[in-house]
Structure 1
Amino acid sequence: MVEFKYSIFYIVLMFTISVGATAQQQSTDSLEKLLAEKSDTARVNIMLILGQEYARTNPHAAESILQRSISLSDSMNYKEGLAMSYMQIGNLKIITGEYELAYSNLIRSISLFRELGDVHNTAQALLDLASISNRLADYPKALEYASNALILSRQTEDLQIMAMAYNLMGIVYDNMGNFKSALTNYQKSLEIFSSENDRVGMGKIYLNIAIIYNKTGRKQDAENLLFKCVSIGQEFNDARLLSIAYGNIGLLYNEDGSYNKALEYYQLSLDMKEKIGDKHSIMISYINIAGANFQLGESTLALKNLNIAIKIGTELGAKRELIDAYEMLAALYEQRNDFPNAYRARTQQMALNDSVFGQDQMKYLADVEKKNAINQLESENKILRQKSIIDRLKIENNRFIRYYLLIGLAFAIVLIGLLVYQSTERRKNSRRLDEANHQLVAINEQLKFSEGKLAESNMAKDQFFSIISHDLRNPLASMVSFVRIMKRDYDTLSMEERQSLIDEFEKIVNRTGNLLENLLMWSRSQTGRLSYNPSRFAAHFIIDENIDLHEASIKTKQIKIELVPESKQAEIFADINMLNTVIRNLMSNAVKFTPLGGTIEVGYRINGNDCIFFVKDSGIGIEKKQQEQLFDLGQAHIRTGTASEKGSGLGLVLCKDFVEKNKGRIWLESIPEKGTTFYFSVPLASGNET
């Protein structure tokens, strides 16, 4: 049935494209004839229409016409034509993947549109900038541009721009993995397109929603929406909508294992994208085709298509898609046992990941510093304003004194009256001075409080950067050393030595991964970007899950693990991700400080309205004075484990923060050389939570 649909769609599509091409040729011929007859601004407007027409079939001709439009508009000081020409060239450069030129032309158009007071086209150009940032994986910037466009559209009640802004924000959230926010924005866009009976707009939203459905396992819903998009695309001869819909239908077949069928749709999508000339979309098609080739065992074809995709992606700077391409390339080389090339591909993939992550972090730190600088300037301005008031009062007071003394010397008769008046004025001024002094005292107290908070923040920041510079640098240096040893001495090492090096490398990678996870969670918690999302779940669930997670390290140290569950099943109401982090850190510490052949007990018990979890080990224990520093980042006591495992001191700080966010508390009992028991409490589910 699906194959039949495919054949019908293909026949209809070829017919509509043929008819559309004939009609377009007639349209452009008529416009070329008009262009020769018109002059001045009318000539510019015809050039803009021709530029739009040629953009679909002949980008080179379109750019040539638009450059002529710029020259003519500039010579006539026709700012409307100049702005529209820059924006159309920007859109053309997006299609051809020349993002720097696209950005510079769009910025020029925005400047002119703002000067002209053209809110609609200003918002449209901002959406084009958001599209560029999204393709370059600069998601914060993409959201900023789209949000600004949305604000402008609300001011003018421009429903078209509003719907496009919501759609683009949904795409960015989808790329960030935030499917809930993506669907919320898509729904808002769909409501607007539906109210305007804009079927092409609705088709684009259906397509984007189908992509999320596919990612979240709703395959049948995704397939229904995709074929709905194909129907709309054929009805309105929208090649771009059709090309993307066919590509995503190919993804559905690929995930179901129908790789030959997937290739048919991928190729159909690629053919249409090449006619459009959208390099970014072409690159995605080559990656998809390579994936199907790989699954069919056609490694040579897969390698060829991947190299084409990587070449295009490198030209465009499309980091997000290049990550996927290099990941597939590494898997392909590994299948061929070509480990040097596999290693190079993995290195490229990791470098791109680090690039995207590093940019976000630097941006975040820059924003924090900027906000601190603004707050500092505001405080200084308040002090300066108060000083200015005091100085003016002093000057006014002295002026009054000199004035009344002169009057007193000249007119002795009115001396008493003047003295009374002077005394009254002095009392008023005194009250003003007192009020100003009280304000200064209050401001000084506030500054002292802010200074204390800033000192605490700086201490936490110093510790944070200390962890990054020390605890990340050492394992990374170790990994580099292991790689160099393996590269240099691989042929001379015995199998046992190679395995030993690989095992040690795995430990370092796992430890570094756990540290990065804790650093990221702590950073998000401290900056308020980690949301608290409680739900009902069984208490034993997170215990079972984390025992499985630590199974390898438990077996390595021959540790006996004992579950001590409450006989009564307990449901708790808490954020499951936060509690997973707490249990994982406590169990990791227990394994770290328990000697070879030791014992760890994990369980929970019900105490009133609380569920108390505990992790008990038979390890080295903790001295009393050190126990008081365990949950303080600035005073964290870092120790090595019984097998020389290293830590950062951040895990227990994170545990305390997460437990308190879940309305609980954490404490411990420890006897040196006997062992340690960590407890933490969370509320039981009361039956009213949802």
Structure 2
Amino acid sequence: MSSHLSSQNQSAYKAEAAHLIEEGNEQLLKNCNTEARQAFEKAVTIYQNIDDKEGIVDTLIQIGKIYYRHTKLSEVQEFFNRAIATYQAVADKIGEADTLIKIAGVYFRDVRYYRSIDAGDSLQIALDYYQKALAIYRDVEDKHGVGLALNNLGLVYFCLEKNDKALHPLQEALSLSREIKFLTVEGSSLHNIGWIKENLGRAKDIGSDEQPFYENLDLVEQALASYQQALDIHRQINDKAGISDTLRNIGATYENRQQFNEARTCYQQAITGYKELGDRTSISDIISKTKIPNLLNRDDPFFPPLQASMSGRTDDGGSPKIIESKKKP
């Protein structure tokens, strides 16, 4: 059908599909999952009619996410397999690997929010998908894909407590990204190296506020240096989410070192960036986990409606940064 459509008609169909995607996302925000799925399935049909493979794949993954959140694992795999088959059918190896990366991201990223299935199982599934993608990228000599997959692999290894394997893929990703000038991966790998080193620098048994949070201060200094390099790159490429994410992690590290003025400055800069992005989830995460008061006025429209009780100190240290696309942020 697509070969008989004019570019004008193609644009009209794409606009209709985009509207359905937007409608589906709005339904998700209302927890109307059935209505969201119906909107996404209509979008899939349109994308199939105009042979828009990226649209097909992205929308099938969206539908898979809905089932994932409700622990309907057979349905999850059905939609993910359809997404992978879209590129396998035309022997598009790079498209197949890109799809594997996106699916792995569902298992790695969403388990933190939905806890739909056992975290260890989810991480192992993510690891398998990332390894398959990496093998394909290496086979077709797609260095950008290799760097992306390595960045994500290092994080999964660390989350699986395979600490001896975690830093090597990230350092390889960093070296490769510098070789090919892939700043997105360079910034993310530096961010993630900082995140892992900050975690490894912590005391094994953290008790009261009087007990030092960190026992390996050299690793923490290395983490902060890595974060600063990442921040410089995020600013260079105007990666607004990356800027805020890294500032948030630096703030958490300063807070854990009881450098509260420095932490406040970083948190406030991160919150300003998240406001520009409309990212209420990340703002809420900062407010609920820090013991630093008054980062937001209570009448601020971005102030979380229900603030979680303060823990007295953050054990969070920020968050890692996975990459799901080789496109510029």
TM over 0.5: yes
Aligned to 1:527: none
Aligned partners of 2:305 and 2:164: how far apart in 1?
A: 32
Following superposition, the deviation at residue 154 of structure 1 comes to 2.1
Aligned to 2:257: 256
Q: Which has the higher contact order (CA 8 A, sep 6+)?
A: 2
Following superposition, the deviation at residue 254 of structure 1 comes to 0.4
Tell me the amino acid that sits aligned with residue 288 of structure 1. K
- One of 155, 159, 162 as aligned partner of 1:171: 155
2:126 corresponds to 1:152: no
Aligned to 1:38: 8
Tell me the amino acid that sits aligned with residue 142 of structure 1. A
Aligned to 2:231: 230
Aligned partners of 1:264 and 1:234: how far apart in 2?
A: 17
Following superposition, the deviation at residue 274 of structure 1 comes to 5.6
> CA 1:109–1:276 in structure 2 vs 1: closer, same or farther (change >3 Å)?
farther
Aligned partners of 1:270 and 1:89: how far apart in 2?
A: 30
Aligned to 1:387: none
Tell me the amino acid that sits aligned with residue 124 of structure 1. D
2:104 corresponds to 1:130: yes
Aligned partners of 2:141 and 2:193: how far apart in 1?
A: 25
Following superposition, the deviation at residue 261 of structure 1 comes to 3.5
Aligned to 2:221: 220
Aligned partners of 2:176 and 2:192: how far apart in 1?
A: 15
Following superposition, the deviation at residue 150 of structure 1 comes to 1.3
> CA 1:44–1:158 in structure 2 vs 1: closer, same or farther (change >3 Å)?
farther
- One of 78, 93, 97 as aligned partner of 1:119: 93
Aligned to 2:241: 240
Following superposition, the deviation at residue 84 of structure 1 comes to 1.4
What do the CA deviations read for 1:522-546 (whole angstroms, capped 9, x no partner)? xxxxxxxxxxxxxxxxxxxxxxxxx
Q: Is 1:287–1:306's contact at 8 Å kept on the other side of the alignment?
A: no
Following superposition, the deviation at residue 87 of structure 1 comes to 3.1
Q: Is 2:14–2:47's contact at 8 Å kept on the other side of the alignment?
A: no
Aligned partners of 1:243 and 1:99: how far apart in 2?
A: 28
What do the CA deviations read for 1:13-44 (whole angstroms, capped 9, x no partner)? xxxxxxxxxxxxxxxxxxxxxxx97114x655
Aligned to 1:28: none
Q: Is 2:151–2:185's contact at 8 Å kept on the other side of the alignment?
A: no
What do the CA deviations read for 1:291-334 (whole angstroms, capped 9, x no partner)? 4459x9xxxxxxx969656xxxxxxxxxxxxxxx9xx76x79xx
2:57 corresponds to 1:87: yes
Aligned partners of 1:256 and 1:146: how far apart in 2?
A: 34
Q: Is 2:61–2:83's contact at 8 Å kept on the other side of the alignment?
A: no
Q: Is 1:66–1:85's contact at 8 Å kept on the other side of the alignment?
A: no
Aligned partners of 1:114 and 1:164: how far apart in 2?
A: 21
Aligned to 1:676: none
> CA 1:151–1:231 in structure 2 vs 1: closer, same or farther (change >3 Å)?
same
Aligned to 1:618: none
Q: Is 1:47–1:66's contact at 8 Å kept on the other side of the alignment?
A: no
> CA 1:119–1:148 in structure 2 vs 1: closer, same or farther (change >3 Å)?
same
2:198 corresponds to 1:197: no
> CA 1:246–1:306 in structure 2 vs 1: closer, same or farther (change >3 Å)?
farther
Matches within 5 A, 1:308-457: none
Q: Is 1:246–1:269's contact at 8 Å kept on the other side of the alignment?
A: yes
Q: Is 1:167–1:189's contact at 8 Å kept on the other side of the alignment?
A: yes
Q: Is 2:40–2:62's contact at 8 Å kept on the other side of the alignment?
A: no
Aligned partners of 1:239 and 1:160: how far apart in 2?
A: 21
> CA 1:122–1:282 in structure 2 vs 1: closer, same or farther (change >3 Å)?
farther
Tell me the amino acid that sits aligned with residue 130 of structure 1. A
Aligned partners of 1:174 and 1:239: how far apart in 2?
A: 25
Aligned partners of 2:67 and 2:289: how far apart in 1?
A: 23
2:84 corresponds to 1:110: yes
Following superposition, the deviation at residue 249 of structure 1 comes to 0.8
TM-score normalised by length of structure 2:
0.63
Following superposition, the deviation at residue 71 of structure 1 comes to 3.5
Tell me the amino acid that sits aligned with residue 224 of structure 2. E
2:162 corresponds to 1:188: no
What do the CA deviations read for 1:462-508 (whole angstroms, capped 9, x no partner)? xxxxxxxxxxxxxxxxxxxxxxxxxxxxxxxxxxxxxxxxxxxxxxx
> CA 1:306–1:293 in structure 2 vs 1: closer, same or farther (change >3 Å)?
farther
Aligned partners of 2:129 and 2:138: how far apart in 1?
A: 15
What do the CA deviations read for 1:432-482 (whole angstroms, capped 9, x no partner)? xxxxxxxxxxxxxxxxxxxxxxxxxxxxxxxxxxxxxxxxxxxxxxxxxxx
Q: Is 1:113–1:122's contact at 8 Å kept on the other side of the alignment?
A: yes
Aligned partners of 1:207 and 1:118: how far apart in 2?
A: 31
What do the CA deviations read for 1:117-164 (whole angstroms, capped 9, x no partner)? 221122112112222222313221111111111122122122222111
Aligned to 1:72: 46
TM-score normalised by length of structure 1:
0.32
Tell me the amino acid that sits aligned with residue 129 of structure 1. I
Aligned partners of 2:68 and 2:152: how far apart in 1?
A: 17
Q: Residue 89 of structure 2: SS of its match in structure 1?
A: helix
Aligned partners of 1:92 and 1:283: how far apart in 2?
A: 24
Aligned partners of 2:90 and 2:175: how far apart in 1?
A: 31
Aligned to 1:432: none
> CA 1:222–1:109 in structure 2 vs 1: closer, same or farther (change >3 Å)?
same
> CA 1:232–1:46 in structure 2 vs 1: closer, same or farther (change >3 Å)?
farther
Aligned partners of 2:55 and 2:41: how far apart in 1?
A: 8
Aligned partners of 2:305 and 2:198: how far apart in 1?
A: 23
Following superposition, the deviation at residue 277 of structure 1 comes to 5.8
Q: Is 2:61–2:103's contact at 8 Å kept on the other side of the alignment?
A: no
Aligned partners of 1:190 and 1:292: how far apart in 2?
A: 33
> CA 1:240–1:222 in structure 2 vs 1: closer, same or farther (change >3 Å)?
same
Matches within 5 A, 1:281-292: 281=282, 284-289=285-290, 291-292=291-292
What do the CA deviations read for 1:52-101 (whole angstroms, capped 9, x no partner)? xx99xxx659x999877534333x3x4x41x311333467789x999549
Q: Is 2:104–2:130's contact at 8 Å kept on the other side of the alignment?
A: yes
**Which is higher, the Rg of structure 1 or of structure 2?**
1
Q: Whose helix proportion is higher, 1 or 2?
A: 1
Q: Residue 116 of structure 1: SS of its match in structure 2?
A: coil
Matches within 5 A, 1:269-280: 269-273=270-274, 275-276=276-277
Q: Is 2:44–2:59's contact at 8 Å kept on the other side of the alignment?
A: no
Aligned partners of 2:278 and 2:61: how far apart in 1?
A: 12
Tell me the amino acid that sits aligned with residue 113 of structure 1. Y
Following superposition, the deviation at residue 273 of structure 1 comes to 3.9
> CA 1:186–1:278 in structure 2 vs 1: closer, same or farther (change >3 Å)?
farther
Tell me the amino acid that sits aligned with residue 237 of structure 2. F
Following superposition, the deviation at residue 213 of structure 1 comes to 2.1
